[in-house]
Structure 1
């Protein structure tokens, strides 16, 4: 993103230092049993649990195409499968369902989302693969360089899958599917198109609709399906059929619902094309467009928003006495709308609002910028409920996506987020970015995630920082959890020291997020140890050390998991080295004591030895810290365990050059 709004440079303030030394005196209260942040609505369930629930619902709606069983057998026997097929045939959905159908043990489901270089998660990192994991690598939209980067790692990664009894389903990019390595040719399977009518029937069936007469498809539906629309369009059509059913006459049946739903997509556009030119009065068009943008909103909000649009577009007001004006009901009737018993406004025809919005946006280009300004002002109306504010933001974003390039799609969120005293527009910025991250069009979603990454790697105004934290926690954590960790990590590194302990800080939110998922804790530890900043980035190294201590203080005691692998013990040692370098002993000793005590309470005696080895390795070049660690352990653990630590210290001291070693008397004191 070369033209992304935001600061051009990443200047950092000089952090405070301890008197007489280079270590930071911290005042952080590290994450422990504090309640969740109050500004942000933290997730009600762990992101991976939500992902599993979504997979379950997807499986219920899935119609098995021919050949899918062969793909499943390949995945189960060889731990990997490559899916190819025509775009729109449901390749990605098929991959998710295959992974869902595998026997499930201790592993988790996760998606490896391709990202530009440097934006993580790192492609196919073996240490981040858990026993029995089920992984999806969706390369359907990948460019050639991304495809090549992943393809070249697959042979070695397949060995990791076999060793850990994990599984990987890869969705191949159509242009490069034939370039798959011959070693994997036998694992390449085609995803055929399922029965279109059964896809619609299955969507209706899981919503409680009797589908026994779905085979009596009307001619309109048969003609629509003959064009082989993408699977996501069939799912959308099923939703419209449900809308048509809810407003149908009692005697209507499935063919009638289908006719209304298809008419809503095609005929509505033709009706609007004829209706709007005949509606000559500017006040009528303003009301028509307002109802379309705020469809379903309260009548008072429609009335106020219409007045704002008329004023902004300089449409003459009715100068007659108020009692001579037409009533709102009369005016709504003129544009084909009405007010229901709950005083909410709807068009009388199904999907008419969609057709009206698209008509004005496509046919009146000069109206686009005024419409964006109008939306910004309308969001602040006191009569406008929050749920309808979100609907307006999403509708405006969908319109902008029709004509704007990817960079410009993010600008409005940036502008709204810069209004620090206006929570309405801050929330609108969150809704806009969340819409982009969740977008079904992968290039659009990838661009929004990239924009958030770019902003997160710069110093930001507090309002924009809070917007990004919210989007990462409440949207990206569910769609791309590892990427949410990456962006929150960058925000935490650049957080002002005075804000790092606040309840809504990036640091606290990041720790709260990874506390819900062992895999995310492992991933954050990997980033803190392996992707440490350069040596001259002192501020960020200290921030990483603070995050590591917060990671250790989690009530779920992740150290019991992290100590079990050689690679993770190495990461723990590197992070402890960073802590000992940047923080005074007054800061890290309480955390060390609690960490050792937690490990000592575990049933596995090897954990204590592993934890002590980590501490010795971390402090091998730091004799004062090594001495304090020994004194602390001697007070906290049994004499035998303290003796074990002393033996390891002596071993390390013998390996050090003589001029670096401290006195043995001091070591044993």
Structure 2
């Protein structure tokens, strides 16, 4: 069995070398082996060789050990073009680009405000990560207002006797919450979320922590190839560890043995859910009205949103209008009126221009009308008019779906067009897809979307995410050429952003993960670059364990990507630190890889590469926050100073990275001094952890080199930073073993 390591908020028993976790299907060399250019292509295809092998061998040898040009003291940050880096990288979209202000980073992205169900006009925080340990506070939140659905008791009996059960049924029925509630009733220890990409074989071969619970939500790892044997083997492995696993899926595979099944999962009584979640008392007449409305509600989340609105004091009529069922009815009535071609163009543009300024909306509407005119010139033709028509004001119509909204900002007023109810969005997309054919609408729309990418109008990504709910194949046909850089860097960035928009939606995130995994494993070099960029931001926040694993695997074969993949893992670390979504997973993975590659007999080139990559991660600076991400990480509640110490010590003991690793100390100290009240306490803890890893002569050499690099005559640190570094050395010396 592979070496196991405890991972913060991860599963301590996870087998990192389980089948399917390496690029066996994509031809990427296994960990610790010599990279080989002729193994990067699919079987039957010519090998990929973009001439970058020698360049990447130099990087692996430690000649460039930090983000940018290999010097941690430079201002070569994530998102900044670095000296010596080729043009055309997803990591450094030019500031002048129209995409820059929309989707260049988590800090500026508005993907979080996209809506595919209940009204969520307020900007939401990034979606919670979908893998790792579930905290008790999260479980407590899930217990609030929970109502046991039909079949819950049977499922509890199944998991108690078999240690494994499947919950299947359409999305929106509360399967995730029910799965976690089943586990909390079954186990007293930690509960972990597993990657939906894991197959039955991989689940059967991984290790499980004794007495813990595991949930795999929206299972997407099997393709029907695995039989009952794998699932029974998994049951035996779970029983051996006294662990429990609940798997949720939309459609149950026929290969799943009957003993693990329960009947199709149904929603709980919606009226009971509303009463449990609502914190206000309503008169009986209002309760009766709500009960009649809830008969048409099929999603637990919509009922929860209704309860929230009523608790916040919103009028019943307004709260009900924001229900998904009410929104669907309003959209259906509008389309039943047989709207004109221009009206269809207006709502189509709105569906793909969410949150776009008025001028952007005008430009995109004009572009779509031109494409529709090309498709059917006679129907689109109009008589010339003497007076200019007030087209913009005509967009707003009585009983229409679009309204004009004016917002007052710090610098003045801003006017936008938007759907009257955000919940209209995905119903409009579905109606457009179901009612209109390819020749009349969707072929022109596809050309128009390409035009929008060329113009840098990347607000289209939320519309494409909504379309993926309706027909994922249509979306793939649109974004696949973009991901291959057939429409340049902006198209590649748009494809990445579509996956990011999907990652914000519980129902779409597993699909986004599957697409990115296929691209990074089987795609051409440009697609691998696109997937790496997607895994480093929103998709990585949602699935940090998958992202870290995939980016590591790509980093050991950098010549298989069309771009510089050395930015990917540091950018993921920045992203996870920014939203505090288990950034420890990156450092823990590096620590595990370094332990393996520092053993006698390990591949020297792979060892040098992991050292250089670790230095990049440790040195990375988030220019949006203006901070060293390592300093910011150390101040987080869940920070693991022991893991930081292990990784830092490894690169300190590696000659090519030693000086840069030493020079990193004053930068991190300065970051803590400028931003954290407890800077001294954080440094003392770090010094103790690093000191515990040093003994005798090695400790003496560290102190000598530390003084020479950071406290010598050329030291330019501030008085406070220098004082704290002396405290660090003193604390280190106390804990270093003689």
Q: For this structure pair, what is the TM-score category when the shorter chain's length is used for normalisation?
A: 0.5 to 0.7
Where do residues 382-421 of structure 1 align in structure 2 (5 Å cutoff)?
Answer: 389-390=458-459, 392-399=460-467, 402-403=470-471, 405=473, 407-408=476-477, 410-411=479-480, 413-414=482-483, 418-420=487-489
Q: Is 1:428 matched up with 2:494? A: yes
Question: Per-residue deviation at 1:62?
Answer: 3.1
Change (3 A) 1:71 1:235: same
Residue aligning to 2:196: 113
Write the deviation string for residues 649-668 of structure 1: whole angstroms up to 9, x where unpaired: xxxxxxxxxxxxxxxxxxxx
Aligned length: 562
Contact between 1:393 and 1:432, CA under 8 Å: does it hold in 2? yes
Q: 1:380 to 1:631 in 2, by over 3 A?
A: same
Matched, 1:37 2:78: yes
- Higher-Rg structure is 1
User: Counterparts of 1:154 and 1:520 in 2: how far apart (Å)?
Assistant: 30
1:454 to 508, 521, 526: 521
Contact 1:295 1:346 in 2 (8 A): yes
> What do the CA deviations read for 1:598-642 (whole angstroms, capped 9, x no partner)?
99954899x54xx779xxxxxxxxxxxxxx969948979999988
Report the CA distance between 1:506 and its aligned residue. 1.8
Q: Which residue of structure 1 aligns with residue 270 of structure 2?
A: 197
CA contact (8 A) 1:244 1:260 kept: no
Aligned to 2:257: 179
2:307 is equivalent to residue 307 of structure 1? no
The CA RMSD measured in Å over matched residues stands at: 6.0
Map 1:441-480 to 2 at 5 A.
444-454=511-521, 459-460=525-526, 465=529, 467-480=530-543
Deviation at 1:482, TM superposition (A): 0.9
Q: CA deviation at 1:485?
A: 0.4
- Which of 444, 450, 463 is 1:370 aligned to? 444
User: Could you tell me whether the CA contact under 8 Å between 2:150 and 2:267 is conserved in 1?
Assistant: yes
- Any idea what SS the aligned residue of 2:216 has? strand
Task: Return closer, same or farther for 1:134/1:364 CA change in 2, 3 Å cut-off.
Answer: same
What is the distance in 2 between the residues matched to 1:640 and 1:96? 43
**How far off is 1:136 after superposition?**
1.7
Higher relative contact order (CA 8 A, sep 6+): 2
Q: Partner of 2:397: helix, strand, or coil?
A: helix
2:555 to 479, 492, 497: 492
1:656-667 → structure 2 map (5 Å cutoff): none
Q: What per-residue deviation string (whole Å, max 9, x for no partner) do you get for residues 237-274 of structure 1?
A: 765898999999x68488xx379864542464254134
SS in 1 for 2:54: coil
C-alpha distance in structure 2 between counterparts of 1:209 and 1:490, whole Å: 55
* Structure 2: distance between partners of 1:201 and 1:469: 42
The equivalent of 1:658 in structure 2 is none
Q: Does structure 1 residue 136 correspond to structure 2 residue 218?
A: no
Matches within 5 A, 1:504-583: 505-512=567-574, 517-527=583-593, 542-548=608-614, 560=642
Q: Does 1:275 align with 2:358?
A: no
- 1:640 & 1:441 partners in 2: Cα distance? 49
C-alpha displacement of 1:484? 0.8
So what's the TM-score if we normalise by structure 2?
0.57
The aligned residue for residue 392 of structure 2 is 328
Cα distance, 1:365 vs structure 2: 1.2
Show the 5 A alignment for 1:31-430.
37-38=78-79, 41=105, 52=135, 57-60=141-144, 62-65=146-149, 68=152, 81-88=163-170, 89-99=173-183, 109-115=192-198, 125-126=206-207, 134-138=213-217, 140=219, 142-145=222-225, 148-149=229-230, 151-160=232-241, 168-171=245-248, 174-175=252-253, 179=257, 193-198=266-271, 201=274, 205=278, 215-217=287-289, 221=293, 224=296, 229=298, 233-236=299-302, 252=317, 257=320, 262=325, 264-266=327-329, 268-269=331-332, 271-276=334-339, 279=340, 282-294=341-353, 298-314=357-373, 315-316=380-381, 319-323=384-388, 325-330=389-394, 332-333=396-397, 336=400, 339-340=403-404, 342=406, 343-346=415-418, 356-362=428-434, 363-366=436-439, 367-378=441-452, 389-390=458-459, 392-399=460-467, 402-403=470-471, 405=473, 407-408=476-477, 410-411=479-480, 413-414=482-483, 418-420=487-489, 422=490, 425=491, 427-430=493-496
What's the CA shift string for 1:351-401, capped at 9, x where partnerless?
A: 66655544443322122132133234346779x7xxxx54x3222343355
In 2: Cα distance, 1:284 partner to 1:158 partner? 60
Q: Per-residue displacement from partner, 1:118-144 (whole Å, max 9, x unpaired)?
A: 9x9x87643xx6798653234755444
- Deviation string, structure 1 residues 132-158 (Cα, Å, up to 9, x no partner): 865323475544445754652453455
Conserved 8 A contact 1:283-1:310:
yes
Relative to 1, partners in 2 of residues 1:42 and 1:133: Cα closer, same or farther, differing over 3 Å?
A: farther
Structure 1 residues 500, 283: CA separation in 2 closer, same or farther (over 3 Å shift)? closer
Task: Give the whole-Å Cα distance in 2 for the aligned partners of 1:261 and 1:156.
Answer: 42
* 1:166-217 deviation per Cα after TM superposition (whole angstroms, max 9, x unaligned): 7644458844686278xxx8xx8789645332366269737x8969766415
- Residues 193 and 214 of structure 2 are in contact (CA less than 8 Å); yes or no, is this contact kept in structure 1? yes
Which runs of 5 or more structure 1 residues have no equivalent in the other structure? 564-568, 614-627, 644-669
Provide the C-alpha distance between the structure 1 equivalents of 2:305 and 2:686, rounded to a whole number of angstroms: 56
Structure 2: distance between partners of 1:642 and 1:82:
48
